[in-house]
Amino acid sequence: MLAIIGAMEEEVKLFKDNMTALEVIKKAGMEFYKGKLYDKEIVLVRCGIGKVNAAICSQVLFDDFSVRKVIFTGVAGGLAQYVNVGDVVISTDCVQHDFDATAFGYKPGEVPRLDKVEFAAAQQLIDLAIRSAEGIEEFPAVYTGRILSGDIFVADKGKALELGEKFNGLCVEMEGAAVAQACYLNDVDFVVIRSMSDKADGSAHEDFATFVNKAAENALKLVGAMLRNI
Ligand code: ADE
């Protein structure tokens, strides 16, 4: 089974509106929508904001819905200079930028005892996303690279530059790396698709409000194309 996860209502609403044969199952304060999207059986869920919500949601999907493939979709703040509002980032891998056990000699972002900084997305899903994006007319710029996650809405140019450089990340959001770690622990394939709502700088909260719906539309276009090509 394939799952599509988004953090916020704005990010999943368009998907829900396009689904048929909907069945709603509630667990852990989340609504799981089982049904068909573009003729493919999927589970769609809004996990809520932040890494804990994302991890709990992932484990429910694996245990209760036999999910073996995850597409996480939504918006993010662009970190790299060239990644602009509206552009799309496909994850090669994800890092928790707020994981800091450096006092014990671990690397920044490293999850102690797992000895891992980055969690790699499934090459098959990355290729599917790239191929699908190429087939969409008048689509914004698409980049493939590292996505950073943490329980912080980044709204400071200095912090954005620091994060981008320190972890070599293209964009920042608040869930992807938690889903990535949950997938790693359960041997499940994932990819994160993020559409830029802001640049994680001083105007991030205003830009976010202005662009979140447009960004969610782009995400639906790409994930929809992926489902058709799967
Ligand atoms: N999601 C969208 N924009 C973001 C930002 N600037 N920081 C964290 N998560 C985001």
Give the tens place of pLDDT for each residue, 160-180: 999 999 999 999 999 999 999
* Cβ atoms of 140 and 70 closer than 8 Å: no
Q: In whole angstroms, what is the distance from residue 195 CA to residue 37 CA?
A: 20
Q: What pLDDT score was predicted for residue 99?
A: 98
What average pLDDT does the chain have? Answer: 96
Residue among 152, 153, 205 whose CB has most ligand 1 atoms within 8 A, to mutate: 153
Which residues are designated catalytic?
11, 198
pLDDT at 57: 98
Task: Place 216 in a pLDDT band, splitting at 50, 70 and 90.
Answer: confident
Residue 64 has a pLDDT of 98
Note the pLDDT tens digit of each residue in 75-93. 999 999 999 999 999 999 9
Q: Is the pLDDT of residue 21 over 90?
A: no
The parent domain of residue 75 ranges over 2-229
Q: Interior CA angle at 186 toward 183 and 192, to 5°?
A: 10
Per-residue model confidence as pLDDT tens digits over 177-211? 999 999 999 999 999 999 999 999 999 999 889 98
Q: What is the mean pLDDT of residues 45-71?
A: 98
Number of Cβ within 10 Å of residue 114's Cβ equals: 11
Q: What type of residue sits at position 189?
A: D
pLDDT digits (tens, 9 = 90+) for 25-42: 999 999 999 999 999 999
Count of domains observed in the chain: 1
Between CA 207 and CA 213 the distance in angstroms is 11
Q: 4 or 207: which carries more pLDDT confidence? A: 4
The ipTM is 0.99
Taking alpha carbons only, the member of 150, 144, 156 closest to residue 199 is 156
215: confidence class by pLDDT, cuts 50, 70, 90: confident
Task: Name the pTM for this structure.
Answer: 0.97
Q: What is the residue with the minimal CA distance to atom 2 of ligand 1? A: 76
Among 172, 192, 206, 213, residue to substitute to test ligand 1 (most atoms within 8 Å of Cβ): 172
Nearest atom (ligand 1) to Cα of 173: 9
User: How far apart, in whole angstroms, are the C-alpha atoms of residue 57 and residue 26?
Assistant: 11
Examine the pLDDT at 134 and tell me if it is beyond 90.
yes
pLDDT at 219: 87
Which pLDDT score is estimated for 133? 97
Q: Could you give the CA distance from residue 203 to residue 11 in angstroms, rounded to a whole number?
A: 21
Q: Where are the beta strands (DSSP E) in 14-166?
A: 19-27, 30-37, 40-46, 69-78, 88-96, 118-120, 142-149
pLDDT at 138: 92
Grouping H, G, I as helix, E, B as strand and the rest as coil, residue 201 is coil
Question: Which residues have any ligand 1 atom within 6 Å of their CB?
Answer: 75-77, 153-155, 172-174, 197-198, 200, 204, 208
Contact 7, 1 (CB under 8 A): no
Q: What is the model's pLDDT at position 192?
A: 98
* CATH code, 201: 3.40.50.1580
How do residues 113-124 score in pLDDT, each as one tens digit? 999 999 999 999
